[in-house]
């Protein structure tokens, strides 16, 4: 949910910080006090288009910051954050956006600089803003099928996964067939090229780790003189009169005599004795190495030529000999395919037909599941609309299924259609024009989809405009119902909606130092009665108005319990 919102130098707002709670938060106040400006700030914070006009007059920049708390580790925004390399600590996401007076924006998510498009993707998973003229995904027909899939997720999502597995095989086979069916001249050029490459690699007769072994041998040859001198001096230090082995041999003889006199010195004698024989073996090895060491300038040239040849192949075919050999195996298979092109095309055509048959079955099953859940959804929407006094409204989900054309999500296209008056034809939801009716339709849909959309906060910006009486009460109850599953922030002029609020914020304009600014105040119970009374009667609040307000709030408490 949105836990904290900070706004600085934004439109008429100088500086405010608002804490939000779960449930339904209603924002009320006189027209022009700045209610919609607060919603505009949230909209910009979640990636909406910004401009210099939002910066408060005389200031360098507007600063917006929102703190969101995510309780569910499986929430879609967690996946988005991981995708963009954004760290999430203790289920917290902080969005920040600074807009300069030149119109440029700087966006951050949890302190990391991001683009506007990234901010928009993160924001879309956190907040859904619904206004009088802006309906987001419910009014976008391309979102209707995903919404239906979310509604029936328990059955539809596993079926989509099964379908997509087959779809991947279908696409891979189709791409291989397409590549093989390209014009003969291009294929001939490709065959000539890879045959030359394979011949060049095979001719080199590469062996795994050969380059490392050659580098080691080159190092030895290049340091021949230093190695010879080291071995020679080491051997001389051990062998010959009055050299190391003579002295150690003398020590061994004396210790042998001492051990014969006292067995306590036996271990000391054995240690020196073992060391003598080990050094004697080392001296022989040094002598052998000196006899074998031979400087061969021709061999050094051979090694350098071979390493140069290997490096040339690395520049062309891979960073290591392993990669070069793997590339050779790959193009050898491709050569065989191209040389037997017609046979391979025939095989791929048969394979594609077989996979397409499997795909058709998976798509058909997916369509049947969607149609099944579409009926359930249609029934629920009719129930919701009836509760909003639109019992004569007809809602329908229409499918277009292309049996020979498949996309990643199946073969279906779904769109919501509606008729609000008897005798009128069903029209696409996006074409419904009446503001009051549209508000109720959207609320009915939101009541159902709020459980499935995954957003943490839903914002209604004056969606109750144009309604009154029993419809207003129904809308109030419906908004509260949405708030059971999602945090809801609602700007409203209806006392019925305000009465249902879990938290009531009053927005007002004040003048300080000759400048207008907006202030936000949480209302206590008495202040709430007064504000609901103002919404009922206007400026003049009488005792009767207060009684009506108290009665409305009591009714709201009962309705909440129900």
Q: What is the mean pLDDT of residues 75-79?
A: 83
Q: What is the mean pLDDT of residues 32-39?
A: 84
Instruction: Inform me whether the pLDDT recorded for 42 exceeds 60.
Output: yes
Q: Which pLDDT value is given to residue 340?
A: 80
Q: Are β-strands 127-131 and 394-401 bridged in parallel, bridged antiparallel, or unpaired?
A: unpaired
Q: What is the mean pLDDT of residues 479-492?
A: 86
Of the pLDDT bands very low, low, confident and very high (cuts 50, 70, 90), residue 467 is low
Q: What is the mean pLDDT of residues 298-308?
A: 87
Of the pLDDT bands very low, low, confident and very high (cuts 50, 70, 90), residue 133 is very low
Q: Which pLDDT value is given to residue 388?
A: 82
Cβ-based neighbour number of residue 402 at 10 Å: 12
Q: Which pLDDT value is given to residue 379?
A: 93
Q: Are β-strands 394-401 and 515-522 bridged in parallel, bridged antiparallel, or unpaired?
A: unpaired
Of the pLDDT bands very low, low, confident and very high (cuts 50, 70, 90), residue 137 is low
Instruction: Inform me whether the pLDDT recorded for 433 exceeds 70.
Output: no
Q: What is the mean pLDDT of the chain?
A: 86
Q: State pLDDT tens for residues 182-223.
A: 766 777 888 899 999 999 999 999 999 999 999 888 887 777
Token code pair at residue 27: 């924002």
Which contacts (CB < 8 Å, 24+ apart) does range 505-514 have?
Answer: 505/18, 505/25, 505/26, 505/27, 505/28, 506/28, 506/29, 506/531, 507/27, 507/28, 507/29, 507/33, 507/34, 507/35, 507/38, 508/29, 508/30, 508/33, 509/12, 509/30, 509/32, 509/33, 509/34, 512/14
Of the pLDDT bands very low, low, confident and very high (cuts 50, 70, 90), residue 7 is very high
Instruction: Inform me whether the pLDDT recorded for 136 exceeds 70.
Output: no
Q: Which pLDDT value is given to residue 301?
A: 86
| Residues facing 26 on adjacent strands | 490, 504
Instruction: Inform me whether the pLDDT recorded for 308 exceeds 80.
Output: yes
Q: What is the mean pLDDT of residues 101-118?
A: 91
Q: Which pLDDT value is given to residue 87?
A: 86
> What Cα–Cα distance (Å) separates residue 361 from each residue in 347, 407, 411, 488?
22, 14, 11, 42
Q: State pLDDT tens for residues 237-257.
A: 888 677 888 888 888 888 888
> What Cα–Cα distance (Å) separates residue 312 from each residue in 298, 324, 332?
21, 11, 20
d(CA 494, CA 510): 23
Mean pLDDT is lowest, of 100-114, 134-148, 410-424, 518-532, for 134-148
Q: Which pLDDT value is given to residue 134?
A: 46
**Cβ-contact 221, 303 below 8 angstroms:** yes
The helix (H) or strand (E) run that includes residue 211 is helix 210-222
Crossing angle, helix 341-387 and helix 435-449, to 10 degrees? 110
d(CA 406, CA 168): 11
Q: Which pLDDT value is given to residue 528?
A: 92
> What Cα–Cα distance (Å) separates residue 344 from each residue in 4, 341, 347?
62, 5, 5
d(CA 112, CA 124): 18
d(CA 372, CA 188): 52
Q: Which pLDDT value is given to residue 451?
A: 65
Of all residues in the chain, what percent carry a pLDDT higher than 90? 34
Of the pLDDT bands very low, low, confident and very high (cuts 50, 70, 90), residue 94 is very high
Q: What is the mean pLDDT of residues 30-48?
A: 86
- In sequence order, what are the residues at sequence separation of 6 or more whose Cβ sits closer than 8 angstroms to the Cβ of residue 540? none
179-198 burial code (b ≥16 CB/10 A, e <16):
ebeeeeeeeeebbeebbebb
Of the pLDDT bands very low, low, confident and very high (cuts 50, 70, 90), residue 544 is confident
345-369 burial code (b ≥16 CB/10 A, e <16):
eeebeebbeebbeebbebbeebbeb
Q: What is the mean pLDDT of residues 263-276?
A: 89
Q: State pLDDT tens for residues 349-380.
A: 999 999 999 999 999 999 999 999 999 999 99
Comparing 445 with 520, the larger pLDDT belongs to 520
DSSP string, 489-513: EEE---HHHHHT-SEEEEEEEEEET
Cβ-based neighbour number of residue 224 at 10 Å: 15
Q: Which pLDDT value is given to residue 73?
A: 77
- Residue among 215, 243, 220, 240 at smallest CA distance from 230: 220
Token code pair at residue 208: 């795994």
Mean pLDDT is lowest, of 253-262, 288-297, 335-344, for 288-297
Q: State pLDDT tens for residues 313-328.
A: 999 999 999 999 999 9
> What Cα–Cα distance (Å) separates residue 69 from each residue in 2, 75, 348, 504?
7, 11, 51, 21
- Residue among 191, 156, 128, 157 at smallest CA distance from 331: 191
Phi/psi zone of residue 410: left (φ > 0), alpha (ψ -120 to 50 degrees), beta?
left
Number of H helices, E strands in the chain: 18, 15
């Amino acid at each position: 949910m949105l836990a904290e919102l900070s706004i600085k130098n934004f439109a008429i707002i100088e500086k405010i910080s608002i804490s939000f709670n779960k449930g339904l938060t209603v924002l009320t106040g006189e027209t022009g006090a700045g209610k919609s400006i607060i919603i505009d700030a949230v909209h910009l914070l979640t990636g909406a288009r910004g401009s210099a006009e939002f910066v408060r007059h005389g200031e360098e920049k507007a600063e917006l910051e929102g703190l969101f708390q995510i309780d569910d580790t499986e929430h879609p925004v967690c996946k988005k954050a991981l995708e963009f390399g954004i760290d999430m600590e203790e289920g917290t996401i902080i969005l920040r956006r600074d807009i300069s007076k030149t119109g440029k924006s700087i966006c951050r998510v949890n302190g990391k600089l991001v683009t506007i498009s990234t901010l928009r993707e993160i924001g879309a998973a956190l907040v859904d803003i619904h206004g009088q003229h802006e309906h987001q995904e419910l009014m976008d027909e391309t979102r209707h099928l995903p919404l239906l899939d979310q509604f029936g997720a328990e059955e539809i999502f596993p079926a989509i996964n099964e379908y997509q597995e087959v779809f991947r095989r279908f696409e891979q086979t189709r791409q291989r067939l397409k590549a093989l069916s390209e014009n003969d001249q291009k294929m001939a050029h490709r065959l000539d090229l890879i045959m030359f490459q394979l011949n060049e690699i095979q001719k080199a007769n590469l062996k795994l780790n050969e380059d490392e072994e050659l580098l080691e041998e080159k190092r030895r040859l290049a340091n021949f003189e230093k190695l010879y001198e080291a071995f020679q001096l080491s051997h001389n230090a051990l062998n010959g009169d009055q050299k190391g082995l003579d002295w150690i041999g003398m020590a061994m003889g004396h210790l042998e005599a001492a051990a014969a006199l006292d067995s306590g010195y036996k271990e000391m004698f054995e240690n020196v004795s073992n060391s003598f024989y080990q050094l004697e073996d080392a001296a022989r090895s040094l002598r052998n190495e000196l006899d074998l060491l031979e400087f061969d300038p021709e061999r050094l040239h051979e090694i350098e030529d071979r390493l140069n040849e290997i490096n040339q192949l690395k520049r062309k075919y891979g960073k290591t000999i392993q990669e070069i050999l793997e590339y050779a195996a790959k193009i050898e298979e491709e050569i065989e395919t191209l040389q037997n092109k017609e046979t391979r095309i025939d095989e791929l055509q048969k394979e594609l037909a077989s996979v397409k048959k499997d795909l058709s079955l998976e798509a058909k099953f997916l369509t049947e599941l969607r149609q099944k859940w579409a009926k359930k959804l249609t029934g629920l929407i009719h129930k919701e609309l009836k509760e909003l006094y639109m019992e004569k409204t007809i809602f329908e989900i229409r499918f277009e299924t292309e049996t020979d054309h498949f996309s990643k999500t199946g073969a279906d296209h779904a769109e919501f259609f509606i008729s609000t008056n008897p005798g009128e034809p069903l029209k696409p939801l996006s074409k419904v024009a009446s503001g009051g009716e549209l508000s109720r339709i959207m609320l009915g849909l939101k009541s159902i989809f709020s459980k499935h959309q995954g957003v943490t906060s839903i914002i209604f910006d004056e969606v109750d405009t144009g309604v009154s009486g029993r419809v207003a009460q129904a809308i109030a109850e419906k908004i509260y119902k949405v708030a059971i599953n999602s945090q809801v922030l609602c700007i409203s002029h209806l006392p019925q909606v305000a009465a249902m609020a879990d938290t009531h914020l009053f927005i007002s304009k004040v003048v300080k130092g000759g400048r207008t600014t907006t202030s936000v105040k949480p209302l206590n119970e008495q202040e709430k009665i007064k504000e609901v009374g103002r919404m009922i009667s206007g400026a003049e609040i009488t005792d009767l108005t207060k009684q009506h307000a108290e009665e409305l709030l009591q009714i709201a408490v009962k309705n909440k319990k129900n």
